[in-house]
Structure 1
Amino acid sequence: MKQICDLLHSSKTIAVVGLSDNPDRVSYQIAEFIAAKGYKVVGVNPLFKKAGAFDVYASLKEIPFAIDIVNVFRRSETIPEIIEDVLAVNPKALWLQQGVRNDAAVNPVVEKGIQTFQDKCIAVYYTLCKAI
């Protein structure tokens, strides 16, 4: 838990991979939650350039500034598709949201020394860390 709290306290920028432009979708709601807590949040989705107030990029590699946390809202079986980009942008952490897990796909990220969390909701852990 300390590792997660240290990460959340030291991070400033979060890229939400799979961000929806629909405010009723969980990815959008979590992006709004973490943005309201002071993080700079951008989306990654090739289908649009804006989602509400969020700038959206087609890929992680297109983001023109450093990313601390890559927060993923994609199905577990699609995780291999983003690993090359995660390795290229070299964030502090790869965070797969609750219900998303792919041990084999994230192995290269772990081997590179990037903190990796799977099947965890970033909003829940933010709240837990604030309570400590």
Structure 2
Amino acid sequence: MADLFRQTKTIAVVGLSPKTHRASYAVAAYMQAHGYRIIPINPREAGKTILSEGCYADLAEARQHHHIDIVDCFRSADDIPPIAEAAIQIGARCLWMQSGIVNIDAARSAHEAGLQVVMDRCLKIEHQRFLVHINTATESE
């Protein structure tokens, strides 16, 4: 996972809400503050901005303007299969399903297409663990 964070530049957040109290917003804002480009994906907010970034209706539209490394999903497990297929089609490196989201079939499809798959984990929490690992390694050198 450390390599994934090191090599990632752009994260598409599917289901990113403009509401600052929502988990999707907090996670995206955290990742943006740590230097990652956030691409909001939310059909209800398409054409607007969230976190000072233009929002797109879907991954295919976003891919016309940005290379996407991670597709971070804040959608129900039942909504994941078409998102996984879109992540495959746009050439994403990773399909990430946030805490509480598990879809084995979508994960299998994405994995078979060569994507790294993470399920039922929070991107922000895992990034914080990565930072602790980096800091600990630096201190011991």
CA RMSD of aligned residues (A): 1.0
Alpha-carbon distance in 1 for matches of 2:51, 2:92: 24
TM-score, normalised on structure 2? Answer: 0.88
Alpha-carbon distance in 1 for matches of 2:85, 2:110: 9
Alpha-carbon distance in 1 for matches of 2:25, 2:52: 10
Alpha-carbon distance in 1 for matches of 2:31, 2:5: 10
Shift of 1:54: 2.6
The answer to whether the aligner puts 1:10 opposite 2:10 as a matched pair is no
Unaligned runs of 5+ in 1: none
Look up the match of 2:30: 33
Identical pairs, percent: 36
Look up the match of 1:58: 57
Query: Which of 1 and 2 has greater Rg?
Result: 2
> Quick check: 115-124 or 104-113, which moved more?
104-113
Where relative contact order (Cα < 8 A, 6+ residues apart) is larger, the structure is: 1
Matched residue SS, 1:19: coil
State whether residues 84 and 95 of structure 2, in contact with CA within 8 Å, keep that contact through their aligned partners in structure 1.
Answer: no
TM-score, normalised on structure 1? Answer: 0.93
Among candidates 3, 19, 22, match of residue 22 of structure 1: 19
Matched residue SS, 2:54: strand
For residues 32-111 of structure 1, the aligned pairs below 5 Å read 32-48=29-45, 49-63=48-62, 64-111=65-112
Unaligned runs of 5+ in 2: 134-141
